[in-house]
Amino acid sequence: MKKADPKRLKEETFQVFLNEEQELRLWVTSISFTTIHGEGIFLLGVHKGQVKIAGHSTQWKDLFLEEKQLLLEMIGESVVDIQHAIKNISAKPIIDMLVGMKSLEDVDLFDRKRLAEEDIYRLKVVLDGKVVFAKFSDLKNLTKTHIIHVVEYKGDWWNQHLFSLDFSNENPDAVREYEALKIELAN
């Protein structure tokens, strides 16, 4: 991503970038990640305690692929596969990722300092067979932009998530019902 000339508004609250596709990316430190592109503007990230559903954006897949590459560079030796979320559905404006590891014990080998440099931290979520990390755009407001579920590849969590993902992507009517329920509960 190449930096364009920063436009200073309110003492560097905003930084403007042009990426390879010449989309304008705008980092809004007090809100979260904003992208301006052909489909309009969307905000990526949810503050702690906030409930928010956003319309689907094709940019979510691109952001997933960028983060997937970053994770593979940092923890790739133990990663078997990384999956994304249900396609074409309104959702929390957070990139959800499922990381399948050879062994969940390999999580202890992650370079926490390197992860922290990317604002990725292990959450205090305690679930048998799953470790959860989050990427934050704002640590003051605990604004999460990515949730990274780390599980054993082909273990129970992996199989359950993949079953749900495959079912959802193959059953658009069920997805619309699920989407309507999510929107209703968020409001």
Q: Which band of pLDDT confidence, cut at 50, 70 and 90, is reported for residue 182?
A: confident
pLDDT tens across 144-165, in order?
999 999 999 999 999 999 999 8
Put the strands of the sheet holding 79-83 in their side by side order: 79-83, 95-101, 143-152, 130-138, 120-122
pLDDT for 48 equals 87
Q: Is pLDDT above 80 for 49?
A: yes
Q: Tell me how far apart the alpha carbons of residues 51 and 183 are, in angstroms, rounded to a whole number.
A: 10
Among 119, 65, 56, which residue's Cα sits nearest to residue 93?
56
Q: Tell me how far apart the alpha carbons of residues 114 and 99 are, in angstroms, rounded to a whole number.
A: 17
pLDDT for 33 equals 39
In the chain, % helix, strand, coil (3-state, to 5) comes to 35, 35, 35
How large is the average pLDDT for residues 35-59? 72
Q: Tell me how far apart the alpha carbons of residues 123 and 112 are, in angstroms, rounded to a whole number.
A: 12
Query: Which CATH architecture is the domain 48-186 placed in?
Result: 2-Layer Sandwich (3.30)
Q: Is pLDDT above 90 for 66?
A: yes
